[in-house]
């Protein structure tokens, strides 16, 4: 499965920016003046996002590798779409009620 880092490395400028924005939604501390993202948490949540999307796609798509690619693509599209919202929160964080900003 693709990682957030792979997405960043392979993506165009819009994708890179969306990945950075997603990382910024996962601060290392609750101190809002800290700017360093918690990439481990962001990575984990990106993987979880793909799994959630895959779960919903499972019945319609029996080919696993094609399904994973579709889910990865959908997750990247989701980051790109969320990125245009100025104060969005990571859907996985919202689900787990962590990093309430």
Binding site for Zn ion (CB under 5 A): 45, 90, 92-93
Specify the residue, 52 or 61, whose C-beta has the smaller distance to Zn ion: 52
Specify the residue, 36 or 64, whose C-beta has the smaller distance to Zn ion: 36
- 3-state per-residue secondary structure call for 9-40: HHCCHHHHHHHHHHHHCCECCCCCCCCCECHH
- CA separation for the pair 77, 5 (Å, rounded): 15
The minimum distance between CB 66 and Zn ion, in angstroms, equals 26
Specify the residue, 79 or 90, whose C-beta has the smaller distance to Zn ion: 90
């Amino acid at each position: 499965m693709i990682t957030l880092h792979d997405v960043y490395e392979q993506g165009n400028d819009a994708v890179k920016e969306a990945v950075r924005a997603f990382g910024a939604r996962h601060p290392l501390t609750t101190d809002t003046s800290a700017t360093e993202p918690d990439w481990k948490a962001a990575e984990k949540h990106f993987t979880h996002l793909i799994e959630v999307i895959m779960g919903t796609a499972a019945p319609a798509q029996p080919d696993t590798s094609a399904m994973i690619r579709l889910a990865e693509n959908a997750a990247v599209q989701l980051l790109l779409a969320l990125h245009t919202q100025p104060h969005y929160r990571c859907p996985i964080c919202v689900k787990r009620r962590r990093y309430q900003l």
